[in-house]
Amino acid sequence: MTLPDIDTFSVYGGPLNDYSAVEDPTVDIAAASANKAICNVAMSTHTITRAMCAFVTNNTSAPTDPATNIHDAVWGSAIGVKPTVARTGGGVFTITWPSTVSDEGTVLGQTAATHTVNLRHSWANIETASANAVRCRVTSPNVVTVEVLNSSLSAVDTTGVQVCVFAV
């Protein structure tokens, strides 16, 4: 497996053992050190951020892209995997990422594998001062619903509020 999936140490083949003593530590790595690195990589796949998306709110119309840092994900930032942001109601937006993505197997000389996107948690922040709060939640495996809130914590239409959403 590979991102965006969750891995374990066994996915990477389990513990390595040294065939012989490390002769040159400047070019060789001991199995014990490699095992620690592999474990760290596998465990980071449990909580690493899978995707981010920023958008700017508009009253009663579709949100727009900010000037920079629009989107990125562990599966890339190409236009083909850009999420779709839609206004679904007053102060309510959805961000929809692709339901399946390809890994970078071709970079490794392999065939790229297809992975199903399964987001589990999300959080957001407001990058401009014209709203009081924002809340979000994963509402389907590849969709995050975002609410821009007023001081009464009710979703409210706003214009020019830049929101950045992250998903695990």
- Give 56-73 pLDDT, tens digit per residue: 998 888 999 998 889 999
73 within some domain: yes
* Alpha-carbon gap, residue 66 to 10, rounded angstroms: 41
For residue 103, which of 15, 14, 7, 29 has the smallest C-alpha distance? 7
pLDDT at 55 over 90: yes
* Alpha-carbon gap, residue 38 to 16, rounded angstroms: 10
86 in the same domain as 22: no
DSSP H helices in the chain: 31-44
Burial class of residue 79 (count of CB atoms within 10 Å of its CB; 0-12, 13-18, 19+): exposed
Q: What's the whole-model pTM score?
A: 0.86
What range defines the domain where residue 96 resides?
Answer: 51-167
138 in the same domain as 107: yes
Helix or strand holding residue 26 (H, E): none
> Could you give the C-alpha distances from 148 to 76, 145, 158, 167, in angstroms and in order?
27, 10, 8, 17
40 within some domain: yes
* Alpha-carbon gap, residue 119 to 2, rounded angstroms: 15
145-167: b (≥16 Cβ within 10 Å) or e: bbbbbeeeeebbbbeebbbbbbb
117 in the same domain as 161: yes
For position 33, what pLDDT does the model report?
93
User: What would the pLDDT profile of 69-127 be if each residue is shown by its tens digit?
Assistant: 899 999 999 999 999 999 999 999 999 999 999 887 777 788 888 999 999 999 999 98
132 in the same domain as 162: yes
The count of domains in the chain is: 2
162 in the same domain as 81: yes
For position 1, what pLDDT does the model report?
60
158 in the same domain as 106: yes
132 in the same domain as 82: yes
159 in the same domain as 123: yes
User: What would the pLDDT profile of 30-47 be if each residue is shown by its tens digit?
Assistant: 999 999 999 999 999 889
User: What would the pLDDT profile of 119-163 be if each residue is shown by its tens digit?
Assistant: 999 999 998 776 689 999 999 999 999 999 998 999 999 889 999
